[in-house]
Each structure stands twice: as structure tokens, then as C-alpha cells.
């Protein structure tokens, strides 16, 4: 579970996203960061029992900094208004598909997958998907995956309007070949974030995601 004060800090930060306020509330930030880090470490420790690729990872390897890079952005807010962690072999900067936990009041979710891969890696995943469509479809139809995530995210912001080069419109995998990221997510209610069941629910959801991650990462390991 996460502490209510962690959520309170993020809620206040959203209303006061500026350096003077942040500096005067740094103690609350540190407490929230540690609280989130401890939770992520518990998830890693449990998850590595079924996913040996993340053995030895620490929360520090996976947790994102709260500072935003505003150098090339019109949005000059200095801080992210969430805590986030990407659990994956190689840590948060890995090229591989992994698990993601996003903590933000009224907008928390857990899930994962492959987010905006390099073109060469996206090409590998599409080829694997095309060659092994029945296997991929069976992963998405698995009862645990469907119960937790429903399907992959297919928003227009992550999907091409036309088929990628080399594929025909009648391809049975058309909806997934158009995707530029392959991710799944499940929303978390604020009231569930502070319940003792959060840890178990998160690990169970991530375990339901493992077959998808294994499929994607298998293609990235190939030549």
C-alpha cells in the first residue's frame, strides 16, 4: 500500500508546480519518493520469482526522476505531477518491453509493454507479430490478460492511419501492425492505492502481462 500523504503531496504539487513551492515542501517530496520506492521494491522482489529477467533490479534502477526536461518544450512546468517506475531488465532506459506503474491522483494505472521503440525495433516486433499472429492473438485472449487489461491500447495517438510498408490491408493482425507502441494498462482508483491489497493486485496484473512481454522481447533478441 501507499501512504495517503504521498497522494496528498502529488495533489498539492499539481496546484503548485513551481520551484519555490517545491523547495519549501522538499521534505514531503522525499517522504513520498521513499514511500513509492519502497512499494516498487516490494513489487520487484515478488515479481522476479516468475520473471528472472529482472533479478537483481532495484527500485532506483526503475524509478523516474520528478524533474521535467523543459529545454525543448512549450510546457515549462518544472516537475512531473506523478511518480512513475518502469520495471524491466536493464532498468528504466531499457529498449525492452517491461512493466510500468504510474501514480497520480485520479490518474493512476499499472500496465506495460513497449513504448515508442526505435524504428528498427518496431520493425522486428511487427515481423514477429505477422509471422506468429495466432500465438499473439492467443496471448491477448488469455482470460487473465483480458480480465485485467481487456486489450492493447489502440488510441489514435499511437496508431498509424495506413498500414505500415510491406503489409496488406487484409492482414488479420491489421489493428496491431498499425500500432507504434504496444502497451496495455489498467486504471487504479485512488481509494485502492492505500489499501493493503495494492501490492498483490499489482504483482498479479504484471504476471498477466508476462506472456505479452516475453513475445515482444523475443523479437527484440532476434537478429
Q: Which CATH number do you get for residue 106? A: 3.30.930
- The stretch 34-56 carries a mean pLDDT of 97
Whether 78 and 139 have beta carbons less than 8 Å apart is answered as: no
Span 71-87, pLDDT tens digits: 888 899 999 999 999 99
pLDDT range class, residue 223, cuts 50, 70, 90: low
pLDDT given for residue 161 in this prediction: 85
pLDDT given for residue 73 in this prediction: 86
pLDDT given for residue 209 in this prediction: 98
pLDDT given for residue 118 in this prediction: 95
4-15 and 26-47 helices cross at what angle (nearest 10)?
130
- Specify the pTM: 0.94
Write down the mean pLDDT value for the chain. Answer: 95
Span 130-144, pLDDT tens digits: 999 999 999 999 999
Range of the domain at 171: 4-221
Span 83-128, pLDDT tens digits: 999 999 999 999 999 999 999 999 999 999 999 999 999 999 999 9
For residue 222, is pLDDT > 80? no
Counting the structural domains of the chain, the total is: 1
Query: Residues 182, 58, 142, 159: what is their CA dihedral angle, to the nearest 10 degrees?
Result: -10
Span 164-214, pLDDT tens digits: 988 988 999 999 999 999 999 999 999 999 999 999 999 999 999 999 999
pLDDT range class, residue 159, cuts 50, 70, 90: confident
pLDDT range class, residue 65, cuts 50, 70, 90: very high
**Residues forming a β-bridge with 100:** 86, 111
For residue 221, is pLDDT > 60? yes
Amino acid at each position: 500500500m501507499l501512504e495517503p500523504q504521498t497522494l496528498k503531496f502529488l495533489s498539492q504539487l499539481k496546484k503548485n508546480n513551481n520551484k519555490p513551492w517545491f523547495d519549501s515542501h522538499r521534505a514531503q517530496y522525499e517522504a513520498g519518493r521513499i514511500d513509492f520506492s519502497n512499494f516498487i521494491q516490494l513489487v520487484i522482489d515478488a515479481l522476479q520469482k516468475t520473471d528472472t529477467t529482472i533479478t537483481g533490479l532495484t527500485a532506483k534502477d526503475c524509478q523516474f526522476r520528478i524533474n521535467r526536461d523543459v529545454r525543448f518544450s512549450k510546457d515549462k512546468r518544472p516537475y512531473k505531477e506523478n511518480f512513475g517506475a518502469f520495471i524491466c531488465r536493464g532498468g528504466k532506459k531499457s529498449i525492452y518491453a517491461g512493466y510500468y506503474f504510474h501514480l497520480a491522483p485520479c490518474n493512476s494505472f499499472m500496465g506495460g509493454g513497449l513504448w515508442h521503440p526505435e524504428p528498427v525495433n518496431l520493425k522486428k516486433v511487427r515481423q514477429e507479430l505477422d509471422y506468429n499472429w495466432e500465438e499473439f492473438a492467443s496471448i491477448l485472449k488469455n482470460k487473465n490478460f483480458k480480465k485485467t487489461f481487456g486489450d492493447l491500447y489502440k488510441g489514435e495517438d499511437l496508431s498509424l492511419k495506413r498500414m505500415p510498408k510491406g503489409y496488406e490491408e487484409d492482414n488479420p493482425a491489421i489493428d496491431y501492425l498499425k500500432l507504434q507502441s504496444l502497451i496495455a494498462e489498467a486504471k487504479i482508483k485512488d481509494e485502492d492505492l492505500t489499501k493493503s491489497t495494492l501490492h498483490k493486485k499489482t504483482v498479479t496484473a504484471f504476471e498477466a502481462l508476462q506472456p505479452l512481454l516475453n513475445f515482444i522481447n523475443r523479437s527484440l533478441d532476434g537478429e
